[in-house]
Structure 1
């Protein structure tokens, strides 16, 4: 069997997580008061957002422990399974390197690593494609990975956020960029391309930020409908209304996934986030 291994930063929906052979290793989140826990295991999204509302200091995230990977690798080795590990961008977390070291530590060689160069449902797109290639195309692991390496180059994330404070404090965004994106009355539009978080645009107010986001979708090459899309939100699902309308009325696309950011990613995105994950056209 080919197992698909990922991390909790992938923000997989419950349906995707429950598919056969999918394993998720949790990152951990710690608040300023020392509370927190393993993302999705000891700390639910509801608990996280309740704490986030009252805590003025952004929480910290930590990569999974090597043992959490080793447990899965050792079990796969014992059962003669292969593993494809699709993990958050190595530019954003040490999770990818931790997994490689864990495989070396337990002498597990039948594993293929994919540095997704993305996060959240960007990883999710790769995971769902890996499952399709495994279950419908019946491709071997090495061929699946070759396809994923090509696909990951076309995955884009665009997001409107209330503030860049969390990303800056977490070390994911340079101070100069955070300063530009935090000007009074300005709402930043962020992008994740090739593993890098960048300030894609700025606009006055949230409505203007959504217009800027829509323009950036086209600048990036548009949405390839073959892979669907995902809408991301942090604490309030209602912030997705302009994105829903644009996707349905302007692009005539329906059936996109809606996913709530889990604690690991929301620790950096902060409250009020509305995002779109898609694959660009070829």
Structure 2
């Protein structure tokens, strides 16, 4: 009899109910300041990271090998037979490769590690769908086969409040037109499925137009399939709520979820003012 565990890192954003419901294990990143180090999402909240950015921009480090070993040991003791891990993009972090290395030492567990080529909702929604499939009684192999199909139906877009933090953190990826910041040009950003880094999807002038553009882009996905829509933000509650209210009224939107603050580890690089939207098409065949 298979007993399947779900595992991720603290860059993942999804609602607390989903984490509890499917007993998702989360490996924490470290948020590092000059005088102190914090365990992501345990010792420091997203709001504290954003509020502190005026004083000091933190650095980060991936979950420790020791933490990974402890989680695998714990899963073995809890009689899990299989593990599905969804990791932050290997284009952003060494977490995926570290997890692969550690999992190979735990032969009692059959482990599949998926490189999300994304972060935040790009990890969280996959885990939620995997949890649903476990609940439906699907086998480990069936779920693993389904993950790329789930991923292909997810469209994650976001706008930064400013590109300053992504640039300072070296996570600017392939976002073009950064010089346009002077002209208030706002890139709509997405994660490339091959490299797992940020690229520019489109560019518009001004904050309001950038948020509206993400909603307009969503119409093309909604025209193909009913969608669930997920929204995250970095200290931009009012803008996120405005986007939530507008999207909720669109045709073919099945459910709209306000996930809330982007995880601290992602916030270090995305900065305050970020708003992200993920359109998850419901039409994919098992």
Task: Give per-residue Cα distances to partners, 1:158-178, cap 9 Å, x unaligned.
Answer: 112111111122222248736
Q: Which residue of 1 aligns with 2:212?
A: 211
Residues 1:192 and 2:191 are matched in the alignment: yes
Q: Output the CA distance in 2 between the equivalents of 1:104 and 1:246.
A: 46
Aligned equivalents of 2:175, 2:132: Cα separation in 1:
42
Give TM-score, length-normalised by structure 2.
Answer: 0.87
Q: Could you tell me which residue of structure 1 aligns to residue 158 of structure 2?
A: 159
Equivalent-residue separation in structure 2 for 1:215 and 1:46 (angstroms): 29
Name the SS of the counterpart of 2:244 in structure 1. Answer: helix
Query: Which segments of 5 or more consecutive residues in structure 1 lack a partner in the other structure?
Result: none
**Range 238-247 or range 5-14, more displaced:** 238-247
Number of aligned residues? 277
Query: 1:162·1:188 contact (CA, 8 Å) conserved in 2?
Result: no
Aligned to 1:250, what secondary structure does the other structure show?
coil
The structural deviation recorded for 1:209 is 1.1
1:252-281 deviations in Å (ceiling 9; x for gaps): 636321121010111111001111012246
SS at match of 2:90: coil
| 1:265 alignment partner in structure 2 | 266
After superposition, the CA RMSD in angstroms is: 2.3
CA distance in 2, matches of 1:25, 1:186: 36
Alpha-carbon distance between aligned partners in 1 of 2:219 and 2:253, rounded to the nearest angstrom? 14
Check conservation: 1:159, 1:273, Cα contact below 8 A: yes
Structure 1 stretch displaced more, 236-245 or 102-111: 102-111
Normalization by structure 1: what TM-score? Answer: 0.88
Structure 1 residues 185 and 20: CA distance shift in structure 2, 3 A: closer
| 1:21 equivalent in alignment to 2:20 | no
Q: Residues of 1 paired with 2:256 and 2:160: CA distance?
A: 20
After superposition, give the CA deviation of every residue in 1:163-208 in whole Å (9 maximum; x if it has no partner). Answer: 1111122222248736245233222221124123112222221112
Q: Which runs of 5+ in 2 are unaligned?
A: none
1:73 equivalenced with 2:75 (yes/no): no
